[in-house]
Amino acid sequence: MSSYKIITPEGEANPLVMPRIEIEGVRRFSDISYSAAHAANLLDIYLPETGTGPFPVIIFIHGGAFVGGDKNDMQSAVVLGGLNRGYAVVSVEQRLLPDGVFPYPIFDFKAALRFLRANAETYMLDETRFVSAGTSAGGYHAIMAAATQEIPAFEDFSLGNAGVSSRVAAAIGFYGVYDLIMQSEFSNNPADGSDVFDFATMFLGADPRERPGLAYFADPTNFITDKMPPTLIQAGTADEVVPTPASVALAERIAKICGPDRVTLSLAEGAAHGDPVFTEKPNQDVIFAWLDSVLN
């Protein structure tokens, strides 16, 4: 059985420097370079303690307002329960701000997907059951990758494995950003209860409210087609960092285009951003029951 423990950093608290996670009882491949183009292009692969696979795999990308977070921090705990349920878990690192402006982190994440598919046999992964998942800003990347899969404009093939698909079979967004215009308005409106800097403007490289044409191309809602894979959207109704209505609007768009069976929206009443409720057993049971139903 795998397990993990949280290591809280010493010193003054910094919301962008999160507690780290140590995982035990797994097979681990650490700091694998999925592209030689950038030093940040690394990932960790965790396999269940036993078995030869091929394992369905959750490919996780962390959040941190596009400027912080780390593939080794506690955010991955939201999907690590899969290791005891027959799933492999991959934690991806990508370019962060100031280098990681739109669309570069999306290019990175898709390069990681291509690398993993190209090397699926080596790491005992089932390339037909790739799941993109992420928290907060990572939720944005996970959903954006699913919505834009197979669109060449959202791939940088110079990062490697140009002939390999970045397609995923399912996607999960945990309290994601999604709509950058809505996010910027939320960050700049204290009446919403938010007290966060305008990271949407930093990520886009311009105020999305002033450049709606540019913001259009950074919004996964605008790329939903009937090819969108099954999607799980989870958020808290008391989120103080990202606007919960963005999660609702995304789910409604997927349901309209693909039908209500293609998307599941799960709102945790009274839950804040990154609330522990998302990693607790009742919600873990919901996540993996949903995954089992859409992948098998």
CATH number at 120 reads 3.40.50.1820
% of the chain beyond a pLDDT of 70: 95
Model confidence at 12, pLDDT cuts 50, 70, 90, reads low
Instruction: Supply 95's token pair.
Output: 């370019």
Residue 212 has pLDDT above 90, yes or no: yes
220 upstream amide cis, omega within 30 of 0: no
Residue 192 located in a structural domain: no
Residue 134 located in a structural domain: yes
238-270: pLDDT as tens digits: 999 999 999 999 999 999 999 999 999 999 999
Which whole number is the average pLDDT over 167-184? 97
Residue 221 located in a structural domain: yes
Quote the pLDDT of residue 228: 98
pTM exceeding 0.75: yes
Quote the pLDDT of residue 191: 65
Which whole number is the average pLDDT over 264-282? 97
Instruction: Supply 243's token pair.
Output: 């606007």
Which whole number is the average pLDDT over 9-21? 67
Quote the pLDDT of residue 11: 56
Residue 92 located in a structural domain: yes
Write the Ramachandran bin of 21: left for phi over 0, alpha for psi from -120 to 50, otherwise beta. beta
Instruction: Supply 102's token pair.
Output: 């739109």
Residue 37 located in a structural domain: yes
Residue 199 located in a structural domain: no
**What is the C-alpha to C-alpha distance for residues 88 and 48, in angstroms, rounded to an integer?**
6
% of the chain beyond a pLDDT of 90: 88
Between 8 and 78, the higher pLDDT residue: 78
Quote the pLDDT of residue 16: 61
Residue 201 located in a structural domain: no
Quote the pLDDT of residue 20: 83
Residue 7 has pLDDT above 90, yes or no: no
Which whole number is the average pLDDT over 158-172? 97
Model confidence at 68, pLDDT cuts 50, 70, 90, reads very high
Quote the pLDDT of residue 193: 66
Instruction: Give how many domains the chain has, as a whole number.
Output: 1
Residue 55 located in a structural domain: yes
**What is the C-alpha to C-alpha distance for residues 270 and 33, in angstroms, rounded to an integer?**
39
104-136: pLDDT as tens digits: 999 999 999 999 999 999 999 999 999 999 999
Between 243 and 9, the higher pLDDT residue: 243
Query: Is the torsion defined by CA of 72, 74, 75, 77 positive or negative?
Result: positive
Q: Where in the sequence is the domain holding 119, given as residue range(s)?
A: 3-181+216-295
Please provide the average confidence, as pLDDT, over all residues in the chain. 94
40-58: pLDDT as tens digits: 999 999 999 999 999 999 9
Residues 45-63, buried b or exposed e (16+ Cβ, 10 A)? bbbbeeeebbbbbbbbbbb
Between 181 and 21, the higher pLDDT residue: 181
